[in-house]
Amino acid sequence: MAAGTGVFAEILDGDVYKYYADGEWKTASSGKTVAIINPTTRKTQYKVQACSQEEVNKVMDLAKSAQKLWAKTPLWKRAELLHKAAAILKEHKAPIAECLVKEIAKPAKDAVTEVVRSGDLISYTAEEGVRILGEGKFLVSDSFPGNERTKYCLTSKIPLGVILAIPPFNYPVNLAVSKIAPALIAGNSIVLKPPTQGAVSGLHMIHCFHLAGFPKGLINCVTGKGSEIGDFLTMHPGVNCISFTGGDTGIGISKKAGMIPLQMELGGKDACIVLEDADLDLVAINIIKGGFSYSGQRCTAVKVVLVIESVADALVEKVKANVAKLTVGPPEDDSDITPVVSESSANYIEGLVLDAKEKGATFCQEYKREGNLIWPLLLDHVRPDMRIAWEEPFGPVLPVIRINSVEEGIHHCNASNFGLQGCVFTKDVNKAILISDAMETGTVQINSAPARGPDHFPFQGIKDSGIGSQGITNSINMMTKVKTTVINLPSPSYTMG
């Protein structure tokens, strides 16, 4: 089945995809649409509705009332529906993967993997939710000084209300369900604002939830450009929590949002520190996987290599040999390197490359670009005065900085505004742990490239890389608040007889 056909036919109105509210697919009253440009052909591939502020207001009201009933729905029933949605999503992996290929130029096999991983994430969340949300606490008062045993305190976790979910273009399905599933299992309702590039994949994914039979109004999806409806959504009084994944936009949202819980998964400049005793073949493979998969458009991509000078020549040679094996071309051919998401993104990457050239970096390959397609490039002898030493290219361009000591590497890592992940390669586990402790990042991987998954691991950024901790369990907890009920017993002088 192709995208927009079969069970997905009802989400299309002519050549424009509808938005989803009150359990129905609708056309926006504005009559305006937003074009989604195929990064490979650079032509309009799809169109989505440009939702208006009135439509957002309506959706917020619907989400608020639907949430009240949903919170009363037994946990096992919520889990059952999530399992159903997961199965439907996996069943329709082909048409959804097709959208990912056309909207964000994700290599064909990776696109299928993203959908299947998302189904697994939903199922795991349902199971984890049943376990952790079924537990509470029981406290008695006489453990605190001055108190008699006259108060019994019961705690449980209750939902926050309406969760606004805003994922980025690079994982529009996986990073949407990583918000939707925890929100729903915890008894919340959802308003999803998908990224423009990735919106149609997101709408297909939402239709799988629709087919699973969730109550009307509980799940909603409004489309439109973030720059146009973003502020209205994030500052809307009907929103009780924002779960956002993306770049600097998240810093702006954090400043503008009201007094509500925020989950912010933002950018990174993940450093790969390579010590003298490292297994250089292993490092080279991980640099390729970490730095160049999905053309470097991953928050946890290796974004700077910090290698001890004495092994730098050998490492660069090995990485160069592996770069030469990467295939470059369209996502339909499952090429390793595919066009980056937009022309502006390609121009930004080119700006970093030209700056490095002007300041004397060594180009290990010739710089080559056709449209949005940029050939993989390793830049050696990068110095801290070059922009690429600090900025996130979000493309297949990787800087190597040669260092004279481990301390120099840690210093570079910690001088970054970002603090998402990092990795260290050494055979000395004691040293690795000390370096991990010294690196100011949310996660450090020892002898492997940074990675978000498996999806139940805690995942968090510090500094400009985020607020809060994600991963399935943490996200469920984050989307709840603690409610306590205190049973007050008579004073100790009271007699029962």
Q: Which residues are known to be catalytic?
A: 265
What residues are paired with 272 via a beta bridge? Answer: 305, 423
Q: Is 441 in the site for ligand NAP (CB under 6 A)?
A: no
Record the tokens describing residue 471, joined without a space: 């991963």
Q: Is 426 in the site for ligand NAP (CB under 6 A)?
A: no
Q: 43 — alpha (psi -120 to 50), left (phi > 0) or beta?
A: beta
**Does 231 participate in binding ligand NAP (rule CB under 6 A)?**
yes
Whole-angstrom distance, CA of residue 474 vs CA of residue 471: 6
268 binds ligand NAP (CB under 6 A): yes
Distance CA 464, CA 451 (A): 18
**What minimum distance in Å lies between the beta carbon of 418 and ligand NAP?**
9
**With binding defined as CB under 6 A, does residue 249 bind ligand NAP?**
yes
Q: Does 103 bind ligand NAP (CB under 6 A)?
A: no
Please state the closest distance from residue 276 (CB atom) to ligand NAP, in A: 30
Question: Counting contacts by CB under 6 A, is residue 196 touching ligand NAP?
Answer: yes
Interatomic CA distance for residues 177 and 193, integer angstroms: 12
- Does 247 engage in binding with ligand NAP (CB under 6 A)? yes
Q: Least Å distance between CB 388 and ligand NAP? A: 15
Least distance (Å) between residue 174 CB and ligand NAP: 9
Q: Of 40-48, 92-100, 150-158, 228-236, which segment contacts ligand NAP by CB under 6 A?
A: 228-236
Binding to ligand NAP by residue 169, rule CB under 6 A? yes
Locus of tokens 């900025």:
391
Nearer to ligand NAP, 257 or 315 (CB): 257
Residue 369 dihedral angles phi and psi, to the nearest 5°: -140, 135
Which residue in 38, 170, 220, 441 binds ligand NAP (CB under 6 A)? 170
Cβ 344 to ligand NAP shortest distance, Å: 10
Q: Which of 165, 166, 185, 389 binds ligand NAP (CB under 6 A)?
A: 166
| Residue from 33, 38, 45, 234 in contact with ligand NAP (CB under 6 A) | 234
The H or E element containing residue 13 is strand 12-13
Q: Which of 96, 266, 377, 424 is close enough to bind ligand NAP by CB under 6 A?
A: 266
- DSSP-derived 3-state class of residue 107: coil
Q: Where are the beta strands (DSSP E) in 75-195?
A: 137-140, 151-159, 162-166, 189-192
Render 454-492 in DSSP notation, one character per residue: STTS-EE-EETTEESEESHHHHHHHTEEEEEEEEEPPPT
How many distinct helices (H) and strands (E) make up the chain?
14, 28
- Non-local CB neighbours of 57 within 8 Å, separated by 6+ positions: 236, 238
- Near ligand NAP by CB under 6 A, which window of 86-94, 239-247, 405-413, 477-485? 239-247
Q: Closer to ligand NAP at the Cβ: 191 or 284?
A: 191
CB 321 within 8 A of CB 288: no
Question: Which positions ≥6 away from 422 have C-beta within 8 Å?
Answer: 270, 271, 272, 273, 413, 439, 441, 443, 444, 445, 450
Phi and psi, residue 150, nearest 5°: -115, 0
Contact between 393 and ligand NAP per CB under 6 A: no
Q: Is position 443 an interface residue for ligand NAP (rule: CB under 6 A)? A: no
Nearer to ligand NAP, 169 or 390 (CB): 169
Q: How far is CA 303 from CA 416, 444, 462, in A?
A: 12, 14, 16
Cβ distance to ligand NAP smaller for residue 157 or 236: 236
Of 295 and 426, nearer to ligand NAP (C-beta) is 295
In the bound complex, what is the minimum distance in angstroms from residue 38's beta carbon to ligand NAP? 15
Which one among 4, 187, 246, 339 touches ligand NAP, defined by CB under 6 A?
246
With CB under 6 A as the contact rule, the residue among 168, 182, 419, 471 that binds ligand NAP is 168
Give the interface with ligand NAP as residue ranges (CB under 6 A).
166, 168-170, 195-196, 225-227, 230-231, 234, 245-247, 249, 253, 265-268, 299, 392, 394, 420, 461, 466
